[in-house]
Amino acid sequence: MATYLEFIQQNEERDGVRFSWNVWPSSRLEATRMVVPLACILTPLKERPDLPPVQYEPVLCSRPTCKAILNPLCQVDYRAKLWACNFCFQRNQFPPAYAGISEVNQPAELMPQFSTVEYVIQRGAQSPLIFLYVVDTCLEEDDLQALKESLQMSLSLLPPDAMVGLITFGRMVQVHELSCEGISKSYVFRGTKDLTAKQIQDMLGLTKPAMPVHPAHPAQPQEHPSISSRFLQPIHKIDMNLTDLLGELQRDPWPVPQGKRPLRSTGVALSIAVGLLEGTFPNTGARIMLFVGGPPTQGPGMVVGDELKVPIRSWHDIEKDNARFMKKATKHYEMLANRAAANGHCVDIYACALDQTGLLEMKCCTNLTGGHMVMGDSFNTSLFKQTFQRIFSKDFNGNFRMAFGATLEVKTSRELKVAGAIGPCVSLNVKGPCVSENELGVGGTSQWKICGLDPTSTLGIYFEVVNQHNAPIPQGGRGAIQFVTHYQHSSTQRRIRATTIARNWADAQSQLKHIEAAFDQEAAAVLMARLGVFRAESEEGPDVLRWLDRQLIRLCQKFGQYTKEDPSSFRLSDSFSLYPQFMFHLRRSPFLQVFNNSPDESSYYRHHFARQDLTQSLIMIQPILYSYSFHGPPEPVLLDSSSILADRILLMDTFFQIVIYLGETIAQWQKAGYQDMPEYENFKHLLQAPLDDAQEILHARFPMPRYVSTEHGGSQARFLLSKVNPSQTHNNLYAWGQETGAPILTDDVSLQVFMDHLKKLAVSSAC
Amino acid sequence: MSQQGYVATPPYSQSQPGIGLSPPHYGHYGDPSHAGSPPGMMKPAGPLGAAAPGGMLPQGHLPPGPHQFGQNGAHAQGPPLQRFPGPPPGNSAAPSYAPYPPSTQSSYPSPVSTSSVAQLGTQLSAMHVNSYGSGMAPPSQGPPGPPAAAAAFQGPPRSSQPSILQPGSQVLPPPPTALNGPGASPLPPSTHRQDGLPGPAPPNAQYQPPPPPGQTLGPGYPLQQANYGPQMAGAQLSYPGGFPGGPAQMAGPPQPQKKLDPDSIPSPIQVIENDRATRGGQVYTTNTRGQIPPLVTTDCTIQDQGNASPRYIRCTTYCFPCTSDMAKQAQIPLAAIIKPFATIPSNETPLYLVNHGETGPVRCNRCKAYMCPFMQFIEGGRRYQCGFCNCVNDVPPFYFQHLDHIGRRLDHYEKPELSLGSYEYVATLDYCRKNKPPNPPAFIFMIDVSYSNIKNGLVKLICEELKTVLEKLPKEGQEETSSLRVGFITYNKVLHFFNVKSTLARPQMMVVTDVSEVFVPLLDGFLVSYQESQSVIHNLLDQIPEMFADSNENETVFAPVIRAGMEALKAADCPGKLFIFHSSLPTAEAPGKLKNRDDKKLINTDKEKILFQPQTNVYDPLAKDCVAHGCCVTLFLFPSQYVDVASLGLVPQLTGGTLYKYNNFQVHLDSQQFLNDLRNDIEKKIGFDAIMRVRTSTGFRATDFFGGIYMNNTTDVEMAAIDCDKAVTVEFKHDDKLSEDSGALIQCAVLYTTVSGQRRLRIHNLGLNCSSQLGDLYKSCETDALINFFAKSAFKAVLHQPLKVIREILVNQTAHMLACYRKNCASPSAASQLILPDSMKVLPVYMNCLLKNCVLLSKPEISTDERAYQRQLVMTMGVADSQLFFYPQLRPIHTLDVKSTTLPAAIRCSETRLSEEGIFLLANGLNMFLWLGVSSPPELIQGIFNVPSFAHVNTDMTLLPELGNPYSQTLRMIMGIIQQKRPYSMKLTIVKQREQPEMVFRQFLVEDKGLYGGSSYVDFLCCVHKEICQLLN
């Protein structure tokens, strides 16, 4: 099916979209029988160096409930200067500017290759980007120092007209006034008291003096700067000031008695940050960057008490309903996240500590606002430093790879409705004709808000075919979907990116082959995984696994070729062949398994899984393993214990970790120092090859993966051993009788066992 | 006027057997039943009536009736007095007064007394001799000379002392002592004598015009029981009508004296001068129990020989009655005014510090009294008997010492705690909070930076001053630098804390806007050593005025400011003191928010007390918290209008802080006064986080305490801090009999933290005599202390009782005390004579001053804040301060001898003592006035003001120019001396005779009738006399 693969790839490159099915079953009934829902992975701001934005505004369908954007799928009557909306079939006049339109003089948005168009909106005041640093000061001296340096460095990376603000917290929360001369001034809040937005604004003096409203003078935007000027200042004005201020930051001075955690008022600090922006720059792109070095220990949003002898909640505690603060804290952060999202502000969390920092409770802040979540051991590690630096990376045009305050709107043709989205977004609760009653992910709306996004931010969008079985679709009819993303570009421009795609309908009974062939198993795996992870947030782990298994079995039953009750007869076509394997690894992944992970880690992994694009997501589901040896060029090998051989160097990329593993023999050679001998230069090269490749990955990825270099028998080898398919374990090793690969000490089932069971169940008529 | 009395228990309400007086009205503050004249009053009328012609009866129906009778009675007896014509020249007495002849004369021109020794003689014999009566009671005082003094004081001889009495008696010392109200005989003016109008003389006199009743009484003393006012009025009226002729005969009242000669009544000046003459400049040793110290106005050197110096403790009487019956009979308050940190002149020995090692001070096992001279060692020194509870304790081994032949330990003179009245112990950890040694205290400066303070330059002034004054933080003994730490807060509607850590390049400001629940935003760097952070602090102080220069914030908060300071100290785990510079009514939304509730309509009603109570219930718990954390609050107020001192001042008062108030502060005029106060307050000796406990020997106990204190229970006097100017007045009551042998012993122990953070115990011991003779009691009284007690108890009662009732009680108790004396101690004499015990000669005048104080005077002309302010000041005053406060010093300046360094002799506070050609200086501890007569000598004017004449003098100054001439120098020196040792810097006002501001000045001429009410001394005396007569009948 090379053609489909190409098609898929081409579509992805052009539109940033990949569908689970590229030919759509034409009725609701058949669609549900396909098991894997009709859905797509959408990267709204996929980088398109070849796509210059057009400097005008889109032409909209005039029907108030539709307002679809003119696109290549629309039928155009060049003589009458009319176009028909392909979603609602409304006939629209072209605006006057399009008077010169003709078959040979088409605007870009009508050309087929411009299924994705980016418009620049010239209207409206441009507000500068806002960065509000919220910094924990309950850190070790080294950590704080490193963090201060990172922050100071970041100032030089910001656009000069960006506004910055600084809030520090420990036992108290300090909002720093940045404009003062001679004395540094800050407003201090108690870390234990929950304040309403109104109170915070009153206390910071942000409430506008009751000003007579001049209807003729809606000079709202101009007022903002004056009100907020004390706390948010253009970087070029207070660069020096802020650098000094950061330099003078001290560790939280309150003594921490033996056996206690420092009192850390993260909840209040975040609440104040949200309140500050809410009061000064609502609906303007802003980034709250929260740096924490430990769990919140007091006030609203506290996650653990300050007694060190009481450890922070574990999955075990949560299952036993033993996590005292979890619900309340989660509620607090959810409330904040929703407020921030409503105002278009995104929240980043940079959590660096050896223990958990409460990401489980705080995750919604990043998940709902499209902020980044970064987890590390210390601020004084390259992992944090480089990750943080990468936030401010620029694209080929010199613009920051970040966008703010986006709304994503989905329009569908009549046969389809949108069922939901999974990704770093919140629902805008916009009902409309194309909203499905069934929800998958965040549903019940046709619009979502994504407060912060970058070129790789990816959402899963789920659809429902609503066409009734008995309402045939005209031959050659195509279903269409339009994604419209309004956002604030990092250059502060407002932009709209519109992507319109169409796929063929097919009758599942007569044309199942077509549909089968158009299955995108990679996209399907990721979309199903997202659904599973989404469910895992609210359901018990085993239930989710059972659901996944059931879906897989049903899929195999539907698309497998087999004789009933004969497992050995089971076959899957090429377009499905990898899918069960993805599911196998997904079941073992940290996204669904909490064993051996702390709640924070699970939240962290899930956070990234819900926003990375397809390639990265696949890596997360099924890590990639490369082998380097003298037997040939580097090659990918099976993620299987049998791949662990003594004379190989392995490079594993799990997205979160890069592991370089030296096989036993290689490790011995290295210890013997052969690489330093001129006659063994080739060995030196062999050692170097995976390092170079790893560097390449490290450079490109956000967040920076944990880099692990280990060897046979090394303690860190567990990273590798826990990922590979345990085809050889202590149970079956001797049965194989050969010395290949490394046995894994586990009771987990291997892929082989998994597949055997799957076949058995698929062919069983009992299901 | 016992405290209990205010509460309404009527301990004294029943007639005392001894006196058979009608029930006094003590104890009735607040007891409505006494509002009307008590029935008891009527009774006396009966007898009187009998004595008097029946005609009297009708009068009885007149409202004032009963009193009149009293008078009449007195009058009736008057005649006999008449016999004493006269005023035998005082010459005879003169010798004894040799030292002060001039003064005597000058101040008592007429007196001289008319009292003739001879004449009096007869009478005197009957009465107690007046101490001055040279002839009479030679032993007693003065003349004999110092050495003898001590001896004289004790024992029998005493009896003679008390004498006072009647005019005649005064043989010599004439006037003062005897106040013959009875103007009768002794009265100077011969006319009077003739009339012989006894006591109530004045009233009679008034028959005619004299003191128009209305005025006299009206204001000060409404009707009702004690009011002399009304009575007098009544008397007047009735007499004429009732007995046209009769009265004259009977009472001889009629024509009587036109007026009581002011010079004939006891003069405080004279008393002060006499004491100074006899005891001034001498060494007073405290080796004897119950000896009466020199007056507070007398300078002498005090040597501690086993009893606490009177600088630390003064008592209302140095001889307690043995039984409570006696105490009730006499109604003399038994109280001690304790000033535990009193400043000791450099020529007296500072307190020794005793260290009993790890086990802490040796204390009685039962009552926990500390080792002191009252402990009796027995059994060869192995055990000792506690002088307070009589428990026999083992002497701890480390403390053992053999006894000598008289049963004294061999180390008696080596150990301060065995031989001295006052000393300090090192406190061990058991005496510390949480058993941890305390941290050095801290001072926090909290400046109101609202618009008005910025605008008038006050903030700048404070900041500038702090830079220098912080150099002089108090330090302990030999410390190189002060261990006190300092912190800074500014505020308006929100609070700004400052981080002035020495390592910072510039100070950091932290704004706390959550005033509803204020907290301390920083720990490290808020309280710092001035030396270490000097540059940052200076930087800050330079910036503060700039920082708020553009502020137009008018609203302020107050309670949160105190709470912030308290929390800061709590967080730093140290005691300390807040210096708050505040100027307006805190109206911003916050706890302790106040509104203007100054309602003049409440004045003179039962609700008047509300004006003295705090407006909200926020401040009392706040004060309690402050005390609990050793946080003392000193408040500098700069009001330009009503700021509700009663509310704002509560915390300063209860935490042992000081309240300073500068009305309509103007930087160019009032800076000096304020800065002096600030410097003085910062530098003065102070102890923090103190608990005082007063232990007594069996038979009596401390029952009530007044002062800058907070009491959580009935025995522990808690003080966030106590400084050298604060006194606590303690009232005692019997709970058993006292024995004359063992006397009454008092041990006052103050546990506190020094400025360097050491925990110490300061012990003051004082032994008093006991006697079953009332005469001994009266002999040992000290009027200055009595007034201090009366003032504090009355001012405390102001919060709960109508002022009218309080005034009545004061008058009644005064009368009662004197009547009891008259009845039991004085020799029989004509009822019309007013006989005063020698020790209480000036009680009436002082009492009148107290009654005329604006706190007790319900007059809308006086600002509510001022009254609340003065009320609060008096509550913590020591005896010397209250004496000066109630009876100001008035000194002529025009007679200045520029070559002498002694102060010109004081004169009585009365307009009649002023002269147009004179310049006078008046001081009361808060204010100082320089009064210029219209004909002041120009050379003096020139000398002082450097202007050619009276007309050129600009009164708009608060400092005299520094001129090189002797007048200027001497006057300034005099003012310096007067100011010395006074806790408040006095504001100088230049007053020109016959100009408007003179009205203010006149209020301080306390012997005259008050501007806003309050009777003159003479009138009051008559009133008291009348009361006494009534009681006696």
Least confident of A158-167, A467-476, A520-529, B158-167: B158-167
Clarify whether residues A25 and A145 are in a common domain: no
Q: Which of A391, A426, A452 is the last residue of a domain?
A: A391
Is B507 an interface residue toward A (CB < 8 Å)?
A: yes
Q: Which residue does chain A place closest to B517, by CA atoms?
A: A190
The pLDDT tens digits of the residues spanning B3-40 come to 333 333 333 333 333 343 343 343 334 444 444 434 43
Clarify whether residues A464 and A613 are in a common domain: no
As a whole number, mean pLDDT of residues B415-432 equals 93
The pLDDT tens digits of the residues spanning B634-669 come to 999 999 999 999 999 999 999 999 999 999 999 999
The single-letter code of the amino acid at A507 is D
Q: Which of B557, B558, B647, B650 is nearest to B598 (CA)?
A: B647
**CB within 8 Å of chain A, chain B residues 443-502:** 494, 496-497
Q: Which of B496, B513, B523 sits opposite A254 (nearest CB)?
A: B523
The pLDDT tens digits of the residues spanning A203-217 come to 888 765 444 444 444
Cα separation, B768 vs B336, whole angstroms: 11
How many angstroms separate the CA of residue A177 from the nearest CA in chain B?
Answer: 10
Q: Which of A377, A484, A456 is nearest to A69 (CA)?
A: A484
As a whole number, mean pLDDT of residues A283-291 equals 92
Looking at residue A2, its pLDDT comes to 56
**CB within 8 Å of chain B, chain A residues 247-306:** 248, 250, 253-255
Please name every residue paired with B696 in a beta bridge, in sequence order, or none if there are none.
Answer: B746
Give domain status of residue A217, yes or no.
Answer: no
Clarify whether residues A453 and A520 are in a common domain: yes
Torsion angle, alpha carbons of A427, A430, A431, A434, to 10:
-80
CATH of the domain at A422: 2.60.40.1670
As a whole number, mean pLDDT of residues A687-707 equals 92
Task: Tell me the pLDDT of chain A averaged across its residues.
Answer: 89
- A518: buried, middle or exposed (CB in 10 Å: 19+, 13-18, 0-12)? buried
Contact by Cβ (8 Å): A420, A360: no
As a whole number, mean pLDDT of residues B562-569 equals 94
Clarify whether residues A365 and A412 are in a common domain: no
Give domain status of residue A134, yes or no.
Answer: yes
Give domain status of residue A528, yes or no.
Answer: yes
The pLDDT tens digits of the residues spanning A659-668 come to 999 999 999 9
Angle, CA of B855, B38 and B1032, to the nearest 5°: 90
Listed in sequence order, the residues at least 6 apart from B491 whose beta carbon sits closer than 8 Å to its beta carbon are B446, B447, B448, B449, B556, B557, B560, B561, B564
Do the Cβ atoms of A193 and B517 come within 8 Å? yes
Q: How many CB pairs under 8 A join A and B?
A: 64
Looking at residue B806, its pLDDT comes to 94
Contact by Cβ (8 Å): B932, B953: yes
Q: Which residue does chain A place closest to B525, by CA atoms?
A: A253
Q: B313-315 and B301-303 as β-strands: parallel, antiparallel, unpaired?
A: unpaired
Residue B148 has pLDDT above 50, yes or no: no
Looking at residue A207, its pLDDT comes to 66
Is A202 an interface residue toward B (CB < 8 Å)?
A: yes
What is the C-alpha R_g of chain A?
28
Do the Cβ atoms of B513 and A187 come within 8 Å? yes
Residue B169 has pLDDT above 50, yes or no: no
Determine how many CB atoms are found less than 10 A away from the CB of residue B175.
35
Residue B490 has pLDDT above 70, yes or no: yes
Q: Which of A517, A536, A555 is the last residue of a domain?
A: A536
Clarify whether residues A382 and A509 are in a common domain: no
Give domain status of residue A30, yes or no.
Answer: yes
Buried b (16+ CB within 10 A) or exposed e, B124-143: bebbbbbbbbbbbbbbbbbb
Number of H helices, E strands in chain B: 35, 28
Looking at residue B468, its pLDDT comes to 92
Looking at residue B131, its pLDDT comes to 37
Least confident of A18-32, B181-195, B419-433, B989-1003: B181-195
Clarify whether residues A737 and A677 are in a common domain: yes
The pLDDT tens digits of the residues spanning B373-391 come to 999 999 999 999 999 999 9
Clarify whether residues A200 and A117 are in a common domain: no
The pLDDT tens digits of the residues spanning B219-277 come to 333 333 333 333 333 333 333 333 333 333 333 333 344 456 777 888 999 999 999 99
Q: Which ipTM value was assigned to this complex?
A: 0.84
Give the model's confidence band at A527: pLDDT under 50 very low, under 70 low, under 90 confident, else very high.
Answer: very high
Give the model's confidence band at B193: pLDDT under 50 very low, under 70 low, under 90 confident, else very high.
Answer: very low
Least confident of A311-325, A555-569, A739-753: A739-753
Clarify whether residues A387 and A402 are in a common domain: no
Looking at residue B1014, its pLDDT comes to 83
Joined together, the tokens standing for residue B744 give 């009454």
Joined together, the tokens standing for residue B964 give 């090189």
Domain residues for A412?
4-122+398-536
The pLDDT tens digits of the residues spanning B934-962 come to 998 888 899 999 998 888 898 888 888 98
Looking at residue B478, its pLDDT comes to 78
Beta strands in A507-595 (DSSP E): 561-563, 566-571
Clarify whether residues A606 and A749 are in a common domain: yes
Cα separation, B381 vs B866, whole angstroms: 58
- A457: buried, middle or exposed (CB in 10 Å: 19+, 13-18, 0-12)? buried
Contact by Cβ (8 Å): B922, B909: yes
Looking at residue A229, its pLDDT comes to 64
Q: What percent of chain B has pLDDT over 70?
A: 75
Give the model's confidence band at B600: pLDDT under 50 very low, under 70 low, under 90 confident, else very high.
Answer: confident
Clarify whether residues A153 and A280 are in a common domain: yes
Do the Cβ atoms of A182 and B540 come within 8 Å? no
Cα separation, A408 vs B49, whole angstroms: 110
Q: What is the DSSP string of A465-497?
A: E---TTSPPPTT-EEEEEEEEEEE-TTS-EEEE
Query: How many Å is the maximal CA-CA distance in chain A?
Result: 89
Residue A461 has pLDDT above 90, yes or no: yes
Give domain status of residue A545, yes or no.
Answer: no
Give domain status of residue A564, yes or no.
Answer: no
Residue B696 has pLDDT above 50, yes or no: yes
Q: Which of B920, B632, B626 is nearest to B755 (CA)?
A: B632
Residue B281 has pLDDT above 50, yes or no: yes
Clarify whether residues A139 and A243 are in a common domain: yes
Residue B730 has pLDDT above 50, yes or no: yes
Residue A362 has pLDDT above 70, yes or no: yes
Is B552 an interface residue toward A (CB < 8 Å)?
A: no
Interface test with B, best of A186, A189, A263 (most B CBs within 10 A): A186
Give domain status of residue A625, yes or no.
Answer: yes
User: Total domain count for chain A?
Assistant: 3
Do the Cβ atoms of A193 and B514 come within 8 Å? yes
Joined together, the tokens standing for residue A681 give 């230069």
The pLDDT tens digits of the residues spanning A398-449 come to 888 999 999 999 999 989 999 999 999 999 999 988 999 999 999 999 999 9
Give the model's confidence band at A180: pLDDT under 50 very low, under 70 low, under 90 confident, else very high.
Answer: low
Listed in sequence order, the residues at least 6 apart from A718 whose beta carbon sits closer than 8 Å to its beta carbon are none
Determine how many CB atoms are found less than 10 A away from the CB of residue A247.
12
The single-letter code of the amino acid at B87 is P
Q: Which of B506, B517, B523 sits opposite A184 (nearest CB)?
A: B506
Joined together, the tokens standing for residue A638 give 């099976």
How far, CA to CA in Å, does B523 sit from each of A68, B436, B487, B532?
A: 60, 20, 11, 16
The pLDDT tens digits of the residues spanning B805-826 come to 999 999 999 999 999 998 888 8
Joined together, the tokens standing for residue B194 give 């003739």
Q: Which of A369, A391, A413 is the last residue of a domain?
A: A391
Residue B584's region, left for phi above 0, alpha for psi from -120 to 50, else beta, is: beta
Beta strands in A142-285 (DSSP E): 163-169, 172-177, 184-190, 233-234
**Backbone angles phi and psi of A520, in degrees to 5:** -105, 95
As a whole number, mean pLDDT of residues A101-111 equals 88
Determine how many CB atoms are found less than 10 A away from the CB of residue B735.
12
CATH of the domain at A308: 3.40.50.410
As a whole number, mean pLDDT of residues A119-133 equals 86
Q: What percent of chain A has pLDDT over 70?
A: 95
Q: Which of A186, A193, A248 sits opposite B511 (nearest CB)?
A: A186
Joined together, the tokens standing for residue A535 give 């469910």
Determine how many CB atoms are found less than 10 A away from the CB of residue B969.
14
Residue A524 has pLDDT above 60, yes or no: yes
Is A422 an interface residue toward B (CB < 8 Å)?
A: no
Do the Cβ atoms of B521 and A250 come within 8 Å? no
Give the model's confidence band at B899: pLDDT under 50 very low, under 70 low, under 90 confident, else very high.
Answer: confident
Give domain status of residue A171, yes or no.
Answer: yes
Looking at residue B298, its pLDDT comes to 92
Give the model's confidence band at B213: pLDDT under 50 very low, under 70 low, under 90 confident, else very high.
Answer: very low
Task: Tell me the pLDDT of chain B averaged across its residues.
Answer: 78
Clarify whether residues A335 and A191 are in a common domain: yes
Torsion angle, alpha carbons of A577, A578, A584, A589, to 10:
-170
- CA A178 to chain CA centroid, Å, is 33
Is B524 an interface residue toward A (CB < 8 Å)?
A: yes
Looking at residue A123, its pLDDT comes to 79
